[in-house]
Structure formats: C-alpha cells, structure tokens
Amino acid sequence: MDDAVRARNAAREALDDIEPDRLREVLFDRLADASMTPGALTILSARALEPGADADADGLAERAAGVQLIYEGLRLTRTLAHEEPWLSGDDGDITGDLDVVAADVLVSRGFYVLARTDAADRAVEVVRAFGRDQTLRRKQDAANTADRNLEADIFTLAVVAGTTAVGGDAPPALLEYAAELARECDAEETLPPATTAFSDATTERIASLSVTSTTDDRVPSSADR
C-alpha cells in the first residue's frame, strides 16, 4: 500500500462517524478525487529521518490524514469564496450549503486529529494565514499570489507533522524547502500526485536539512504576512 492510499484511508476513517449520511458522502467524494500529496509528504518527511517508520503503527497515517483534511477544507473554502454558488438564485439547490458545511467539518476534524501533536500550533498558523490571505484577496478584488500561499503553508505543516512524529524537528531551512516544493507544483486546481511531486532526492533533501540546519530563527510564512 503506497503512502497516498494510506493517507486517503486514514482520512476516510477520521470522517467515518460524520452524520448525516449525505454529508459524509460529500466528504468521501472529495477525498476520492483529491490529490493526497500533502498527506504523503507527511509520511515521507517522517521516513526521511526514520526510514523504518511504520505509517500505521507509528501514527504517521493519522497525522497525514489531519494535514490532508485541513487542506481539503481550506481548498474547498477557497473555491467557494471564488465561485459563491449560493448567488446562483436557485433556491432548490443546496449543494453550495452542503459544501460550506463540508469545508467546516474537514478543517475541524483535521484540527482534532492533530490537536495532541507537535504540529497543532503550525496548523493554527496555517488557518489564520489563510483567512488573512483571503481577506486581502477580497479587498484587492482580483486573484493574486495570496491564493497560492495555502499550498506552501500546507506543505510546511506536512513536514512539521512528519518530522516531529519520529522525534525530529523542522528547522527554518526545511520549512522553506517545503514551501518551495509547493510552489514548484504550481497547480491551478489540484496538486499533482505524490509520485510526480516527490522523488528520492526530495527525501534526501528533507533528511539533510533536518540534520544540518542549526539556526533557531523561525521561517517567515504567510502566517507572518
């Protein structure tokens, strides 16, 4: 079983008790179509430091699910902010309303999964930064680079969740590298599959930066913008 499949299964498991059934189906449908790149990066980051880490036994899949759920919720929120489906005038169509609820559930459940981990504070930073970026976008009344900060921030969350799971750390150089990885993906709608986004060189780079970085200065992220 590859890491993307593990992340997807763990994310589904985290949502398995959501009711009503229709809402849960909406959530599962989004996961079925989603790129699991953020979740896979979480597991990859842990294995870069601890090659023998077990995604299931060591809780990596669960952390990957938390990262993935937060991303899916914020990505859906971003889409809704752009399209505003409730302005279509069709009172009989509740799809937009369901999507709003789904976005909230995804983010909330992702927070729940990561709440007792060392990635919890970073998760809060990601959501706060996203809110500020979307506010900036509305004020400027045009698409701008702020819209793409989400992927960079989610990738930094992934490496924090992964490295701390095996007792490691994500120093500033590693966080900056994660943000660069996200920018290189440069997708308009969806991220590419993990098999395309990452390579053996990615793992080696993460391991190198985790071991060799000595600075204690925190990397600036969109949370600081």
Q: What is the mean pLDDT of residues 52-60?
A: 91
Q: How big is the CA angle at 166 (ends 164 and 172), to the nearest 5 degrees?
A: 35
At residue 86 the predicted structure's pLDDT band, cuts being 50, 70 and 90, is: low
Q: What is the mean pLDDT of residues 166-172?
A: 93
Q: 105-155 pLDDT, tens per residue?
A: 999 999 999 999 999 999 999 999 999 988 887 776 555 556 679 999 999
Is 63 exposed, middle or buried (CB count within 10 Å of its CB: 0-12, 13-18, 19+)? Answer: buried
Distance CA 218, CA 172 (A): 5
Provide the strand spans (E) within 61-107: none
Domain harbouring 215, CATH code: 1.10.600.10
Per-residue pLDDT at 206:
96
Does the pLDDT value for residue 95 go beyond 80? Answer: no
Per-residue pLDDT at 145:
56
Of the spans 65-74, 92-101, 142-151, 193-202, which averages the highest pLDDT?
65-74
Count up the domains in the chain and report the number: 1
Containing domain of residue 77, as a range? 3-224
Residue 53 CA neighbour count, 13 Å, CB half: 23
At residue 88 the predicted structure's pLDDT band, cuts being 50, 70 and 90, is: low
Per-residue pLDDT at 81:
84
**Tokens 């506010």 appear where?**
135
Token output for 17: 């008790």
Token output for 98: 């369901």
Per-residue pLDDT at 189:
65
Does the pLDDT value for residue 90 go beyond 90? Answer: no
